[in-house]
Every structure is written in structure tokens, then in C-alpha cells.
Amino acid sequence: MNLKRSKSLVWLLWLIPLAFLLVFFYQPLLAIFRQVFSERFSQGWQFISWPQITKPLGFTLWQALLSTFFTLLIGLPAAYLFARFDFPGRKTLRSISLLPFILPTVVVATAFNSLIGPKGWLNLILMNLFNLNNPPVNLLNSIPAIVLAHVFFNTSIVIRMVGNSLSRLNPHYDEAARVLNASPWQAFREVSLPLLLPSILGASLLVFLFDFTSFGVVLMLGGPQFATLEVEIYNQAMNRFNLPMAGLLSVVQLAFTLLITTIQNRLNKPRFGKAALSSETKTLKKPKTKWQRFFVVFMVIILIILFVSPILSLVSRSLVTFEAARGERGNVETGFTLRYYTELFKNTSGSIFYANPLAAIRNSLVYSLLTMLIATTLGLLTAYALYNSNKANRWLEPLFMLPLGASPVILGLGFLISFNQPPWTSGPYPILIPIAHSLIALPFVVRTILPALQSIPNSLREAASVMSAKPFRVFLEVDLPILLRAIIVSLAFSFTISLGEFGASSFLANARTPTIPVTIFRYLSHPGALNYGQALAMSTLLLITSALGSLLIEKIRLPGEELF
């Protein structure tokens, strides 16, 4: 579908996603700003104190840069590992790497604590080994803890987005360059890198924006002495009731998001490299040379330490009881238990808001299926519109990235004043929730599909057109098979984003049909060993649901795709 010549069709492609954003993003945002600032316009702007803005802004930028750097440092080799090498456990490890993405921050904080906290495994082992009296590693409440958690959360973005491009990159190009006497580095720099650059820049941008607007990680793992813009917005709005200040900070955050996106947009002039396609299986090979074997083993160990150990410690903690009764020394029971899971099925207090775990899983699945549908459809349309873009609508692109920079607190309040009447918030499954989730997922989907679209050689389409195929047929026969991997990655992203999302769900969901993260928080907000255990058990169920879901999604195949 090369639409370069029919401008009206391009505008039609823009129309649906643009309308979606106007109604569900820009409209509520403007509504809240109008309400928040109208009072202040008449009173003057003396309420602004600049250090209150510049200080959190400086810290936010700094920690985001640091976190993005380390995420790329691990993510890029990991993406290469998964895209190029075939090794036992590859698929499992790849699926596990997506899991951190969905975990609520408080659960990750718990998992990290059981690993690197003062009484975590790491310290216990070190104290035993070296006969120390005090825990030697103290990472909680520090910048390294923030960076580590950001790397843990966001590496999967790099693995998926860059890996997706890498696996479609024809390795023969590289080999051809080598035959022409290029060094491996030259071959990489001159051939592979330019082709990969759009997806690397796209992934970095998303990671940066995620770190830039980070809230829970900074609050819970960084501790109270660190405040990002988002933390300060929450504090001003919810604790100080200083909505004008919160609104102003969120304008600053939006402006920076726009600035960063625009800069990236200018840097990323895609050369429409028509890398010949290759199906994924062909690019995979067993590690042969010594270096390749070392690389694979090294990376697998790093990824296991980073992803598998916190998740394992979380899962194991939901199955083991420690010192059941610290009140009574004599009666200590330690060992395997399924009690936390069986208790999930009991409504001990008879509460009206109780939801059994299967109902919570179903509620979450309803929202995530709707999100997959909305986000992927809109994302495809947007990607096509951007692909066929001319100068006039090229500047529209950052508008689609802006939802990532919007403060959930401010947007949530905007939603409330714009959509507080039925049908938006009523019924067991308020439609506003998958819409909010789609706003978050949309930039991912666009960034994943667009590079794939740009890699389709025009010759293929022209060939199809010459054979007088209708545009839709060209899409089905030419574009779709090539885009399929990117679409699947998009589906998996929107599925997991929706599954793990807590903020909007807790704000807007019907209290009687809570999602999994909402039930986790309900257990964690009460004292008691059983509540704690049940929160961990529920987190494990969230992990399993997500793993099964993304495995199913990755199973999607076109009929006859193997022949391609």
C-alpha cells in the first residue's frame, strides 16, 4: 500500500487514531488544565517557586539518562543473543525477560528485598562466607537501586524491539561485506548499524521516557530523599492539594517529553534500507567459535541473575513459610506450603469486595484483550500514516508519543472530570480502563510496527501491483506476512502492559470486579503473615497468566508461513 500519491487516503489513515487521541487524551488533559489554572490566571503566578521545578527536573533527567545507558548496555547484547543464537532454553529465557514488565512495583520491591535487602539471600550468603556481623551490601534507598530496578523493568523493551529488527536483518549482507574485506566492526558499522538504528533509537526513546516518568520505583526503591517530577506531581496534587503546582509540573514534564521526542525524530531520518528479508529461523545459528560460546554463556548468566533470580525468589517465597510464629519461639514451622494459594479462594472476612483469584484473572484478561484490540488496530493505522507521511504530517508524530509523558495523576483527574458519567465508568468493566491502557500501549505498538514497515522492499509491492492486485490484497499478501512478527510483538506488549497496569485500574475499575494488581494491593495493605503470603501468591498467578498469555500470542502463525 504505497500511498505517497494519494494524500487524501493518508489523511484518512490519520483520522481514526488522531480522533482517539483528541477525545481520550488531549480533551481530558485540557479540561483539567483549564480547571486547575483558571483560578490562577486571575490571581497572578506568584505561587511558582522555581527551585520546586528545577530541582526535581534535574534529578529526573539525570537518573533517566543513567538508567537508559545501563538498560542499553545489557539490552543490546541481549537482543543480539536472542536474535542470532540458538541455545537450549532460549525461548523460556526470552519469555521470562518480558515478565518484569508486568509486575507491580511494590511486588518488585518485595522481590528485590528478598534478594539484596539487609536480610536477603545475597547478604546472608556473604555474611556466612566471610563471617560478617553486618550485611555488607546496602542497596535499598539509593541511586543504584533505582537504576537496577529500571534496568530490570525496561530491558525487555530493548530485547523485543531491537531483537525484532535484528531477526529480520539478513545475515548474508553482513557476510557479503566480510567477503569484500570489511572487518567485523566495519561490517557492523556500515551495514547492520544503519539498518538497526531506527529501532535502537526507538527503543532508547521509550526506555528513556519510561525512566523519565518513573513513579513507583523512585518512591519505593529510591526512598523519600529522591523525587522525580512524577513523584512531586503526586505529592502536590494528592497530599498538598496544590493542584496548580501539580498542573504546572506536569506541563513541564509534557514539554520535555515533546522536546525529547522531537529531537529523536530529527535524528532518526530513516534510510529506507531495503534489507532483504529472512525468516527468523534462518538467522538463528548455534554458537560455533570460542568467542561466540563465551558470549552466549556470559549473557545467559547475566540475564539469569537479572531476571530469573528476583522472580524465582518471589515465586519460592509464595510457596514456603518461614518461622510461622515469631511470638512463640518453640513453635517454628518452616517448609513447603500451598496455604497461601488455598486461602485466596476463601473470603475470610466476608467482604463485599472480595474476588476469587479466577475472577480477578478473568477481569484482567477482559481488559487486556480489549487493549490488544484497540492498541494494535490504532497502532497499525498510525504506523501506515507515518510511513506514508509527508512534511505536513511528520510533525504530528510526537503527538502520538506524548501520552507516555503525561502524568497519570493529572490525566486520571482529567478523566474524572471529562468522563464521570455513564457509559464511561459504569458496568462491571468500565470501557475507560482499556482505553487508558491503550494510550500507554500505543507508542510501543507504533514504534514496533513502523521499523518493520520501513523494511518492506517497494519492489515486492510494485510487483504485486503490476500483477494488478488490489491494495488490500497487497496488504494481505505482501505486508502482513512481513509485519506479522512486529504485530505479534505489539500484541504481546499491549497484553502485558494492560495486565500489569495498576494506577488507572485502581482509580477507575468497578470495586467489585478488581484486576489482579488491584487484589495484590488489597492484600498488601493489611498486616499479617497470611495477607503477605497471599499477595505473593497472587503475584505468582499474575506471572503465570502473563507467561501463558504471551506464549499463546507468540504461537500465532500465518497459514503457510513456514514456506515463506
Question: Could you tell me which stretch among 176-184, 304-312, 386-394, 530-538 binds another protein (CB under 8 A)?
Answer: 530-538
Binding residues among 495-524 for another protein as defined by CB under 8 A: 506-507, 511-512, 521-522, 524
Of 240, 346, 394, 470, the one binding another protein (CB under 8 A) is 240
Could you tell me which residues come within 8 angstroms of residue 179 by beta carbon, excluding any fewer than 6 positions away?
none
Q: 377 is written with which cell numbers?
A: 488496530
Q: Does 417 bind another protein (CB under 8 A)?
A: yes
Residue 285: phi, psi to the nearest 5? -145, 160
**Which one, of 141, 20, 67, 72, lies nearest residue 400 by Cα?**
20
Q: What is residue 320's three-state secondary structure? A: strand
Name the residue nearer to another protein (CB basis): 176 or 417. Answer: 417
Least distance CB 287 / another protein (angstroms): 32
Print the binding letters for residues 368-407 with another protein: x by CB under 8 A, - otherwise.
Answer: -x--------------------------------------
- Are 370 and 434 within 8 A, CB to CB? yes
Q: Does 119 bind another protein (CB under 8 A)?
A: yes
Of 14, 101, 234, 400, the one binding another protein (CB under 8 A) is 234
Number of Cβ atoms within 10 Å of the Cβ of 358? 11
Q: Does 532 bind another protein (CB under 8 A)?
A: yes
Residues contacting another protein: total by CB under 8 A: 83
How far is the C-alpha of 97 from the C-alpha of 546, rounded, in Å?
A: 12
Of 26, 87, 353, 424, the one binding another protein (CB under 8 A) is 353
Print the binding letters for residues 535-564 with another protein: x by CB under 8 A, - otherwise.
Answer: -----------------xx-xxxxx-----
Least distance CB 325 / another protein (angstroms): 5
Name the residue nearer to another protein (CB basis): 328 or 562. Answer: 328
Q: Does 109 bind another protein (CB under 8 A)?
A: yes
Question: Could you tell me which stretch among 22-30, 198-206, 217-225, 266-274 binds another protein (CB under 8 A)?
Answer: 217-225
Least distance CB 156 / another protein (angstroms): 21
470: left (phi over 0), alpha (psi -120 to 50) or beta: beta
CA distances from residue 362 to 92, 358, 515, 516 in whole angstroms, order as listed = 25, 6, 8, 9
Of 132, 525, 544, 564, the one binding another protein (CB under 8 A) is 525
Residue 320: phi, psi to the nearest 5? -125, 135
Q: Does 69 bind another protein (CB under 8 A)?
A: no
Q: Classify residue 219 as exposed, middle or buried by CB count within 10 Å of its CB (0-12, 13-18, 19+).
A: buried
Binding residues among 130-159 for another protein as defined by CB under 8 A: 135, 140-141
Name the residue nearer to another protein (CB basis): 88 or 350. Answer: 350
How far is the C-alpha of 356 from the C-alpha of 10, rounded, in Å?
A: 47
Least distance CB 218 / another protein (angstroms): 9
Least distance CB 295 / another protein (angstroms): 34
Name the residue nearer to another protein (CB basis): 68 or 519. Answer: 519
Q: Does 331 bind another protein (CB under 8 A)?
A: yes
Q: Does 258 bind another protein (CB under 8 A)?
A: no
Least distance CB 484 / another protein (angstroms): 8
Q: 112 is written with which cell numbers?
A: 528485590
**Which one, of 284, 280, 282, lies nearest residue 482 by Cα?**
280
Q: 260 is written with which cell numbers?
A: 525529547
Helix or strand holding residue 407 (H, E): none
Q: Does 110 bind another protein (CB under 8 A)?
A: yes
Name the residue nearer to another protein (CB basis): 109 or 162. Answer: 109
Of 128, 349, 390, 468, the one binding another protein (CB under 8 A) is 349
Q: Which amino acid is at 112?
A: F
Q: Which amino acid is at 323?
A: E
Question: Could you tell me which stretch among 59-67, 308-316, 349-357, 398-406 binds another protein (CB under 8 A)?
Answer: 349-357
Q: 42 is written with which cell numbers?
A: 486571575
Name the residue nearer to another protein (CB basis): 286 or 326. Answer: 326
Residue 144: phi, psi to the nearest 5? -55, -35
Of 146, 177, 206, 237, the one binding another protein (CB under 8 A) is 237
Q: 548 is written with which cell numbers?
A: 501463558
Of 118, 184, 194, 423, the one binding another protein (CB under 8 A) is 118
Question: Could you tell me which stretch among 91-99, 158-166, 223-231, 277-285 binds another protein (CB under 8 A)?
Answer: 223-231
DSSP states along 252-303: HHHHHHHHHHHHHHHH-------PPP--HHHH-B---SHHHHHHHHHHHHHH
Least distance CB 340 / another protein (angstroms): 9
Print the binding letters for residues 290-329 with another protein: x by CB under 8 A, - otherwise.
Answer: -------------------------------xx-xxxxxx
**Which one, of 254, 251, 238, lies nearest residue 40 by Cα?**
251
Q: 25 is written with which cell numbers?
A: 487524551
DSSP states along 16-70: HHHHHHIIIIIHHHHHHHHHHHHHHHHH-STT--THHHHHHHHHHHHHHHHHHHH
Least distance CB 27 / another protein (angstroms): 15
Name the residue nearer to another protein (CB basis): 7 or 346. Answer: 346
Name the residue nearer to another protein (CB basis): 6 or 347. Answer: 347
